[in-house]
């Protein structure tokens, strides 16, 4: 669910604006300026938006101090990595500290046959220093988008998978068919499954995949979820 907050330029610093609205704008403007400097590879500008004691982590889990972040950034041209398509922005301001959270697409060029793109949920923490907002920490968490291309299958076969499954005590996954689409429901949230092949499916917001298991009579009795790192988790059909 999105976070309703003012965007840069959306609230003017007038007598009618609340003080926190004005500070939210300043924090968001600092976040955007930092991102713009990153995309230009303007190291001096990036450095101005980072506290000397900055603590961060890259999307590959590497720890980043201010010096290490700048060194890493200098090694990549603007064409190699861009942060774009920012959405679902949330900001919280508490006295001299602020948190910004948003979805961002990272586009990486130089690959054949086409550039790659990855989605992340990014969190940035700022503090107010000399009347300016500087980042003291940042972290990127993968928010996967599955780019696989589904194969064509007869949607009538989806009925084989309809039922309830459990993969851990107290956890139930329900598979249904809606408008000729295979749907899984977990904790009240629904996702569409797209066919990969024989009894195999994937979801757009998950880079793993699921394969259903049949018995000797061909009846679906369970499934195996395949994690991207090679681990597996089995689910058993209970209805």
Query: pLDDT tens for residues 135-191?
Result: 999 999 988 888 899 999 999 999 999 999 998 888 899 999 999 999 999 888 999
What is the average per-residue pLDDT within 13-33?
Answer: 75
Q: Which two tokens stand for residue 111?
A: 């690959």
DSSP 66: H
- The helix, strand and coil proportions of the chain, stated in percent and rounded to the nearest 5, come to 20, 45, 35
Distance between CA atoms of residues 3 and 149, nearest Å: 32
What is the band of 234 on the pLDDT scale with cuts at 50, 70, 90? very high
Domains and CATH numbers, the chain: 19-142 (3.10.450.50), 155-237 (2.40.128.50)
What is the average per-residue pLDDT within 191-204?
Answer: 95
pLDDT for the residue numbered 180? 95
**pLDDT higher than threshold 90 for residue 44:** yes
What is the average per-residue pLDDT within 219-229?
Answer: 95
Q: Are 173 and 235 in contact (CB under 8 A)?
A: yes
Q: How far is CA 114 from CA 11, 48, 54, 59, 108, in A?
A: 39, 34, 34, 21, 9
Q: Which residue has the higher pLDDT, 137 or 109?
A: 137
Distance between CA atoms of residues 202 and 25, nearest Å: 40
Dihedral of alpha carbons 14, 15, 19, 21, sign? negative
Phi first, then psi, for residue 22 (nearest 5°) are -65, -45
What is the average per-residue pLDDT within 119-147?
Answer: 94
The answer, as to whether pTM is greater than 0.85, is: no
What is the band of 6 on the pLDDT scale with cuts at 50, 70, 90? very low
**Which has the closest alpha carbon to 101: 69, 123, 72?**
123
**pLDDT higher than threshold 70 for residue 16:** no
What is the band of 3 on the pLDDT scale with cuts at 50, 70, 90? low
DSSP 150: P
Helix (H) / strand (E) element for 159: namely none
Q: How far is CA 61 from CA 58, 64, 140, 141, 178, in A?
A: 5, 9, 9, 9, 39
Q: How many CB atoms lie within 10 A of CB 122?
A: 21
Dump pLDDT digits (tens) for 89-107: 999 999 999 999 999 999 9
**pLDDT higher than threshold 70 for residue 8:** no
Q: Are 7 and 89 in contact (CB under 8 A)?
A: yes
What is the band of 5 on the pLDDT scale with cuts at 50, 70, 90? very low
Q: Are 46 and 70 in contact (CB under 8 A)?
A: yes
**Which has the closest alpha carbon to 198: 207, 208, 210, 190?**
210
Q: Which two tokens stand for residue 225?
A: 């979820």
pLDDT for the residue numbered 17? 40
DSSP 113: S
CA 84-61-85 angle, to 5 degrees, is 10
pLDDT mean across residues, the chain: 89
pLDDT for the residue numbered 223? 96
């Amino acid at each position: 669910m999105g976070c309703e907050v003012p965007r840069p330029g959306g609230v003017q610093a007038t007598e009618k604006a609340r003080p926190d609205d004005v500070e939210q704008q300043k924090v968001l403007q600092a976040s955007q300026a930092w991102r713009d400097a990153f995309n230009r590879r303007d190291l001096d500008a990036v450095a101005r938006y980072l506290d000397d004691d900055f603590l961060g982590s890259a999307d590959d889990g590497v720890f980043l101090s201010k010096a290490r972040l700048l060194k890493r950034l200098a090694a990549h041209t603007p064409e190699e990595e861009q942060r774009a398509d920012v959405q679902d922005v949330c900001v919280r301001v508490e006295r001299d500290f602020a948190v910004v959270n948003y979805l961002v697409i990272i586009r990486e060029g130089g690959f054949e046959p086409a550039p790659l793109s990855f989605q992340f949920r990014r969190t940035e923490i700022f503090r107010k220093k000399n009347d300016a907002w500087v980042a003291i920490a940042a972290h990127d968490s993968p928010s996967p988008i599955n780019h696989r291309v589904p194969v064509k299958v007869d949607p009538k076969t989806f009925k084989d998978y309809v039922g309830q499954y459990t993969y851990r005590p107290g956890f139930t996954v329900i598979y249904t068919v809606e408008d000729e689409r295979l749907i899984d429901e977990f904790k009240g949230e629904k996702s569409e499954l797209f066919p990969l092949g024989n009894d195999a499916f994937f979801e757009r917001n998950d880079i793993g995949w699921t394969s259903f298991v049949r018995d000797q009579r061909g009846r679906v009795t369970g499934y195996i979820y395949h994690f991207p790192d090679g681990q597996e988790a089995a689910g058993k059909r209970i209805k």
